[in-house]
């Protein structure tokens, strides 16, 4: 049996070339049962082609996921029957120590996906897992539990990413993330893109813009067929949330960006998209959708070190004001009842972030919170799809950070396909108030194709927005190390994604000290 990648001697910061990543992925090979029976008639091919994943770690366990799909791009290729799936979790990669096992059912209703909530494990340690069905075995995955409540433990090393448009680039960034040997991955949305297949792309979507459940399933299967993405899922637990492209570009609650689409039609599409999202993500039963509703915002604690408050800024928001786009402030963008969170989620966020017990309060969410002026000179332009389009909610959150003395708030953001490091201040009406938190915005994994290190507008942007301490338009991900002493952030970028083999480099480093909502160059 080949050694798993985590025993291969790869250094934490070592470079993994495309060939190396392929070898690492191949090393996570299915471990076939010695007593394997002939392939089940439903399995025309390997049923575990979409790999394995884990997520939402707790001190005593985590979720493990797979989906039976012998023909993944053809609706999965399974008959309508339900099948039994056996799972195993162990304290070592050879499955000899602390072995736990059980069975679950892969039902056709959930696309033959399985979500096992493993419990009763030891806190703050790595585990290995795998699945079996009808004599077939899955790849091996690795996951870990969170530290026990109230304990700081060692430093947490994690990466966050977003926006992985399959057509516009390769997932080279995940190959480098794999070498960083992280404890955790946070994905901030746009896991898939819903658009139709277009010509002259790096690789192709199949078919029209997706609208049916089978089309959503096939699109997820296409994305999950990528070896680098599968390897990163198998390497560490993920915390996931969505943005807009998991359903439809720039949708807001029950409102489509297309004026001809009714609320009923959008909600119908949302129900199908949410169903497929749950099927393909390592989420708990609490996140099972009910029609067009899915409870995605939630809290996950990493001992007493970090509290992750995972937000949903799509499902509960009001319509984008001012006709969307980049606009100067308009009356609708300043309305007190305009909301990006919804009242219920906002109240939940305020309660959870003000509670004691966490050294760092981390908001894992989708769109930029900083009020960035996109226009040079006296003219102003703010993104109406981001927090500045919902200024009342933005001010409420930042004032809450200050008034409730929220401990060390850090906002993690995706969506925008560029890197930003922002200090979050409350300078709403020309006052000069100190920042109350920091925001790290990560670029895309592949969306937008090859980027550029320094866009032509960079000097103007930094001049207009002095709270922006870094901006970059390459592809990549963000690597974070959090301890009681400090928070370190590295912006990891790749030079190109339209062809294989790009090296990665760290373009910027920042340090945040506890009690200081300031960005220091690392």
* Domain ranges for the chain: 5-30+157-521
Mean pLDDT, range 492-497, rounded to an integer: 98
Q: Say how far apart CA 482 and CA 153 lie, in whole Å.
A: 11
Q: What is the pLDDT of residues 61-71, one digit of tens each?
A: 999 999 999 99
pLDDT for 15 beyond 80: no
The phi and psi torsions of 265 (rounded to 5 degrees) equal -65, -40
Instruction: Write out pLDDT tens, residues 366-386.
Output: 999 999 999 989 999 999 999
Distance (Å, rounded) from C-alpha 345 to C-alpha 312?
A: 8
pLDDT digit string, tens, across residues 338-353: 999 999 999 999 999 9
Residues 6+ apart with CB under 8 A from 356: 407
What was the pLDDT predicted at 37? 40
Look at phi and psi of residue 399 and say left if phi exceeds 0, alpha if psi is from -120 to 50, else beta. Answer: alpha
- Alpha helices, H only, 415-486: 458-464
Q: Is the pLDDT of residue 8 over 90?
A: no
pLDDT at 44: 82
What is this structure's pTM? 0.93
Q: What is the pLDDT of residue 427?
A: 77
- Let me know: does 139 contact 132? Beta carbons within 8 Å: no
Is the pLDDT confidence value at 323 over 60?
yes
Tell me what the pLDDT averaged over the chain comes to.
91
* pLDDT tens digits along 246-280: 999 999 999 999 999 999 999 999 999 999 999 99
Nearest to 412 by CA among 185, 199, 106, 80: 185
What is the arithmetic mean of pLDDT over 217-245?
98
Number of H helices, E strands in the chain: 8, 24
Parallel/antiparallel/unpaired status of strands 298-302 and 100-106? unpaired
SS3 for 7? Answer: helix
φ, ψ at 176 (rounded to 5°): -75, -35
- Separation of alpha carbons 49 and 39, rounded Å: 15
Q: Does 127 have pLDDT greater than 90?
A: yes
CATH number for the domain formed by residue range(s) 5-30+157-521 = 3.60.21.70
């Amino acid at each position: 049996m080949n050694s798993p990648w985590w025993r291969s001697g790869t250094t934490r910061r070592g470079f993994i070339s495309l060939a190396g990543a392929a070898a690492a992925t191949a090393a996570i090979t299915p471990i076939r049962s010695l007593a394997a029976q002939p392939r089940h008639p439903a399995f025309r091919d390997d049923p575990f082609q979409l790999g394995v994943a884990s997520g939402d770690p707790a001190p005593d366990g985590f979720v493990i996921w797979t989906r039976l799909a012998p023909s993944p791009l053809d609706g999965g290729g399974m008959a309508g029957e339900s099948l039994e799936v056996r799972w195993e979790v162990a304290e070592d990669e050879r499955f000899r120590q602390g072995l736990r096992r059980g069975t679950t059912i892969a039902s056709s209703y959930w696309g033959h996906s399985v979500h096992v909530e493993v419990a009763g494990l030891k806190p703050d340690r790595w585990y290995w897992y795998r699945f079996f069905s009808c004599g077939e075995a899955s790849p091996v995955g690795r996951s870990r539990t969170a530290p026990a409540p109230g304990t700081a433990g060692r430093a947490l090393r994690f990466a966050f990413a977003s926006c992985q448009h399959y057509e516009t680039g390769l997932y080279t960034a995940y190959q480098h993330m794999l070498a960083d040997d992280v404890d955790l991955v946070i994905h901030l949305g746009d896991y898939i893109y819903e658009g139709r297949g277009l010509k002259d792309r790096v690789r192709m979507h199949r078919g029209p813009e997706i609208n049916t459940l089978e089309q959503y399933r096939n699109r997820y299967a296409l994305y999950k067929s990528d070896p680098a993405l599968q390897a990163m899922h198998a390497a560490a637990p993920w915390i996931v949330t969505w943005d807009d492209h998991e359903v439809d570009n720039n949708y807001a609650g029950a409102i489509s960006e297309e004026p001809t689409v009714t609320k009923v039609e959008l909600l119908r599409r949302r129900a199908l998209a949410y169903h497929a999202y749950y099927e393909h993500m390592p989420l708990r039963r609490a996140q099972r959708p009910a029609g067009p509703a899915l409870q995605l915002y939630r809290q996950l604690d990493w001992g007493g070190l970090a509290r992750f408050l995972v937000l949903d800024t799509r499902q509960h928001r009001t319509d984008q004001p001012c006709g969307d786009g980049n606009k100067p402030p308009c009356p609708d963008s300043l309305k007190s009842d305009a909301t990006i969170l919804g009242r219920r989620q906002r109240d939940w966020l305020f309660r959870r972030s003000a509670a004691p017990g966490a050294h760092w309060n981390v908001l894992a969410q989708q769109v930029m919170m900083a009020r960035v002026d996109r226009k040079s000179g006296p003219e102003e332009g703010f993104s109406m799809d981001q927090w500045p389009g919902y200024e009342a909610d933005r001010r409420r959150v930042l004032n809450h950070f200050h008034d409730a003395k929220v401990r060390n708030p850090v906002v993690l953001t995706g969506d925008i396909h560029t890197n930003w490091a922002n200090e979050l201040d409350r300078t709403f009406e020309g006052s000069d108030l100190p920042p109350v938190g920091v925001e790290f915005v990560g670029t895309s994994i592949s969306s937008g194709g090859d980027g550029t290190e320094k866009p032509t507008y960079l000097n103007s942007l930094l001049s207009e927005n002095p709270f922006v301490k870094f901006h970059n338009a390459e592809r990549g991900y963000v690597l974070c190390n959090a301890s009681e002493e400090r928070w370190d952030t590295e912006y990891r970028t790749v030079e190109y994604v339209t062809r294989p083999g790009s090296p990665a480099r760290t373009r910027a480093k920042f340090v945040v000290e506890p009690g200081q909502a300031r960005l220091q160059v690392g």
